[in-house]
Amino acid sequence: MTYQGKTFVPGQANNSYVFPGVGLGVVMSRATQVTETMFLIAAKTLATLVDEKDLAMGRIFPPLPEIRRISAEIAAAIWVYAEEIGLARETLPDNPVNYIQSQMYDPQYADYK
């Protein structure tokens, strides 16, 4: 897609960004349902995480190396929504992004050199 003379290359928003964030939010909130609105919230949250620098470089998504932070942001938005509509079985913490990040699996691999 070309916009204002710049070419933007679509990526894998659903597989790389949206689904992991939604899944994490559902698991953390212990939501009783996964709704279509959750996917809309995830897409809108993702859009807020793209900055002017990303757009200037031709990116329509934030950099993939930031995926853990992005997933936590999306998961927090999902948790807020799940709590608002009565689907969450866990209470939203004061700082959901930090809490979610503290609960994320962090693989540690031994160096076999």
2-27 pLDDT per residue, tens:
778 876 655 677 788 999 999 999 99
Q: What is the pLDDT of residues 78-99, one digit of tens each?
A: 999 999 999 999 999 999 999 9
| Boundaries of domain holding 68 | 14-49+64-103
> What is the predicted pLDDT for the residue at 44?
96
Q: What is the DSSP letter of 6?
A: E
Does residue 109 fall inside a structural domain?
Answer: no
Is residue 8 situated within a structural domain? no
- The pTM of the full predicted model, rounded to 2 decimals, is 0.83
Which residue in 28, 5, 24 sits closest to 67, CA to CA? 24
Measured CA to CA, the distance from residue 12 to residue 98 in angstroms comes to 25
Does residue 113 lie in a domain region?
no
Q: What percent of the chain has pLDDT over 70?
A: 95
Q: How confident is the model at residue 104 (pLDDT cuts 50, 70, 90)?
A: very high
- In a domain, residue 87? The reply is yes
How many domains, the chain? 1
| 55 pLDDT tier (thresholds 50, 70, 90) | confident
Whole-number mean pLDDT of the chain?
A: 90
- CA-closest candidate to residue 26, choices 81, 70, 63: 81
- Residue 111 maps to a domain: no
Residue 69 counted as domain residue:
yes
Asked if residue 22 belongs to a domain, the reply is yes
Lowest mean pLDDT among 32-41, 51-60, 77-86, 99-108: 51-60
**Which segments of the chain does DSSP mark as H helices, in order?**
19-29, 36-48, 52-56, 67-84, 96-103
